[in-house]
Each structure stands twice: as C-alpha cells, then as structure tokens.
Structure 1
C-alpha cells in the first residue's frame, strides 16, 4: 500500500500566504485559543542546552503552580529515565532557568523548593542595592508601590521629648537684683533621613540571535560547477557516457539531455584529475536520501563538494635528501704519532709550534 497523505495538512499548506521556501521547514500557524504556553526562543533555540533539557523546561513551564516536579515525578510523566532527567535539570540549573533551594520548616523538617524562571536574562543584577532577592522566591524587580500601613505600624515611634517642668519663681528680696529666668534646653534636631541612592535600571538583556534564519532571508549563492582545466573532446565524451550510464545503476538518475550537458563539464573535471569512472559512479549513487526529490541538485552538490584534489606528481612524492655533513678525517702526526683531524697528513698542532720555536731560535743565533 502507498503512504497515506494528510489531506487536511495539504489543504492548510495551500492557504499559507506568501511564497513558500524551496527547502527547509514550512510552518502552518494556527492560533491557539486555550491550553497553550508561551516559550521564548532563547530557550527553544538555546545553543548550549540539550534537547532533553529544553523539553523538560517547556514541560515544567506548562505545569500549574504547585505541581510536583521532582525527578521521580518527571520520570512518571516522560519516557526518559531518571538519569537523563537529572542531567537535564542540572543543565537548566547551570543556565539560570531552574533553582532548587533547601528550606527548613518550623518542625525541623527540610524540604526542597524548586523555582523556575522563564526568562533569567531579564532578572535584576544580583549585586544591585535596590533588588534584594527573597530567600525562597525568584527575585523580582523592585516596585514603586507604597508600603502597606502594617509595615509603618510596626516601626517604633520616636519617644516624646520630656518637657521640663516650670520652676517656681520667687520674688526677689529687697535690695537684690532679680535672678534671670532659666533658659529651657534646646530640643535636639530631628534625625535626617538617609539619602536615597539613585536606582539604576537593570542592564538590558542581550538580544537573542535566532539559530535558524527565517524563510525570507537571502540565501548565499551556490558555488559554481567545477570545470576542466583543458577541455577536450575525449573528456566530454567520457563524461557524457558516464552520466547516461547512471540510470543502469540507479533508476532515480534518469537524466534529460539538457541536464547531462549541464553536468558533463563537472564530470570531465573529475576525469581530468584521474578519478576512476567506477569511483565517480559510486560517489554519485551511494547513500541516496529517501525519497529522492531532486536528483539533478544532488548530483550538482556532490560533484562540487566532493571534488578530489589533483594527483601529486612524481617529484612531489620524492623525499628530499638530507644534507651531507663533511667530517674531517683523522691523521697521524709524523713526529709524535698523535691522532689529529686534518684534511691532509702532516704534524699536529703541538709539533708545529715546537718546530716554529726551534726555527726562530736558529734564526736568532745566526
């Protein structure tokens, strides 16, 4: 029986607006109305996370708050084993998406709280003075909402300054000057509020670079087909015969005359580089994709990308000779029979010096 086709998907593909790409995936986008989760491309296309870690992160992000996400609970939901799930959780924890915190309850029981953040790059800087993370929750940016009244009520009110009691002023005795009235002590100035440091906004998150270019992105130009250095009639005839004979070995390569004329110079370049016809045929027909939709494009790619280099010449294969080192031979001194190195026989250095001194003494005496 033939392969069943999804007619509904085929009809939806016909309604996709705009020109369709010639290669790669084609998206049929149907908007969700319920039961969907928004996932950022920074997670879906993360270059350093494995596919298992990305899938576990999407699963955890889709679960409602309070759902158990331990290793055993995730293993019960997924087909992966506990070892792969534990490794995926460690990857998410290393990249900031996941945090596991050990918390001690009032009854001295220790539990593990799992915190998942869908966009860790948008979190405030950990050393920022205005953003103090909660010990058990994912840190959030500082809000500008006013403080509740309960927090103000808990603050201790300043103690009232005691007012000194007025002293009784007695009448001065006759003949005496009245005493000056006592000056009450000055009230201490109110404490000055500490200066608030300017709150710096968190650094913007680096823009995520998509790993896969969009379908409308300009494609790089294709490399040209190889051409023979010296085209001859014999090379063209052999290349044409080889391309016509491909359908005997692979019926998928039943080429037209125009395709053969287009690909013949590339095969001639292979033959010029002394590639055997059987080797060229195996390179072009082995390990074919199933199904093969564009045989001419496959031949063009393989003839261009797998072109062998030219064979080296006989001079290139000769190992260069090592330079010969000239060694001075040994000679035997005619006077003292001592061995010394010299290109010609004669006397050693000591005997030559002795002979020179004797000649100088004879010349002086004369």
Structure 2
C-alpha cells in the first residue's frame, strides 16, 4: 500500500511545471470542487498571531453562520485546553478578526454576539461593513457576470413534417409559437478591489549563518630582524612541502607576524610546517586565507617557566602527639596533655 502511494506521489510531482525547489515545501495542488474555504494570506501567514490563533481563525471562518464558536464549544472540539483557546481568541480580537459584544434581547435575556471578519483592514477603512444579526451574511463581493459565458437560447426552428408511408395519413403541422424575446443579462459592475490590510512585513530567517568577525593575526612582542627573516623563509619554503601553498610576496609579508609569534613562543619550524601543511583541502582556492586562519586559530600558548612547573608547596601539617595523662592522640607541635586533661588540671589548680 505504501508503494502505491509513493508511485502516485512521484507521478504527481512529475506533473508540476518548472524545476522543483532544492529545499523547502513542494505544493501539489488540485482544485477543490466542493467543501472549501478561501482564507487570506494575511491570516494564514500573520506574523503577530500564534499558530493556535491562526488555526482557530481558519476553523471559525470555515463554519456556517450560527455555529457555536465559544470557548466551551472549541474545547470540546479540539485537544487544546480552555486557557489556550481563550488566549487564541483574545489574539484574534486584538488584531480585529473577532468581535464579541453583549446584546440584550427583547425578552431581557443577555447574549454574547460573535462576529468574525475575514478582512479586518477593509472594515477599518470602511470598504466592507459586516452585518450583525442572527446569522452573519458573507461579506465577500458579489460575483461578476461575464457576458461571454452567458448562452442565449436560440429560437426553435420550424421542422418540416417528415413524409410517412403511403398508407398513413400525413397530419398537418402544428403551429409553432413564436420564441419569446430573451432579455440580455444586465452586466453587474465589477467590485472595487479592496487592498489587503497593511501589516508588518514577514521577516524570513537568513539563509546562512551570520559570519563571525575575523580574528586578528597574532603578533610577537618584538618583531626583530632575526624573527622576520626566519618567518619569511619558512613561508616561502612551504611550496616545497605542499604544491598548493604558493604565496605571493605580499601574502608572505602579511603572514610574517603570525609565524613570528609562533617562533617567539618557542615553536619549532617543523611543528609550524606540520600545522600549516596538514590535511589541506582539495582544491585549495585561497592558500593565504587558510594559512592566516591556521596561524590564528592554532596558536600555541607560551611555554611555562621553571617556576611554573615546580611542585606546589603543601601547607605544613600539625603532627600527632600522645597525651601524657589519658594517652589520647591529639595534634600539637609540642608534646604534653590534650585539651580535656589541661582543663582538669586547671580546675584542680
């Protein structure tokens, strides 16, 4: 069964005109013949409403007039709780889609009247005014009557009587009534297009991650002529060990402080060469940028000094002594009596 579904979906995708997008959703859309609702993108893609509020707004718009859309009715219909649904209805009220007012009937009973506007911006501009009553009528514009699709019935032609057999009498043709004049349909003026409600532009997430600022190239504390000469020679010699690392004189002068910082931290030339030439990408388009990144990101820390590697001095430990009176062990630098024995001697004295 799943294979049949996959084949059907594959056939549907092949029927989509144009190239398919490499990422994102792909729409396979078939026209609806019945049971469908037109929902504006200002509601379906509203950036100020939660997903629950958008879903409840679409559900209310699909219901017929007179349907119950209170918190109790929606809670019985969906799995969300009363708190979530009440918050979603308040969001729809805040953005003008939902209006709930109290009305008093003739018998004195107070009811809550709920009105849903499919285009809140049109109501604010005065273009469309919803009708509030026992059943809210649709606020969609009247359909336009197109003359090309109206077929005017042609007058019935008078048919000549067919000759019958010789033995059968030919009846006289019946008089055909004249066709009634067909009145041309009155063209309905096209409705004035109502622009959609202005709302904040939808901010799409960036396609790529934001680029981090480039870290500065390390510099030595003092760039001596000896360090400059050694660093320049090491950079120019890299193409002997890796053919991709062919640097220009300008690139060598730019990278000299980074190599000098490594040499100042007692890094050997072999260690620097291995760090710069190991695991090179294929193909290497920008060798100078790669060397700059490795000199910055892989910079080793300075070597610790002799005093840093010395064993830390431990705090002096007070030795144990044996009490001369009760022979208990206690910590003290001098032999003698423990604290309890000393207290007894002081009381006796």
Same topology, TM > 0.5: no
TM-score, reference length from structure 2 = 0.45
TM-score, reference length from structure 1 = 0.43
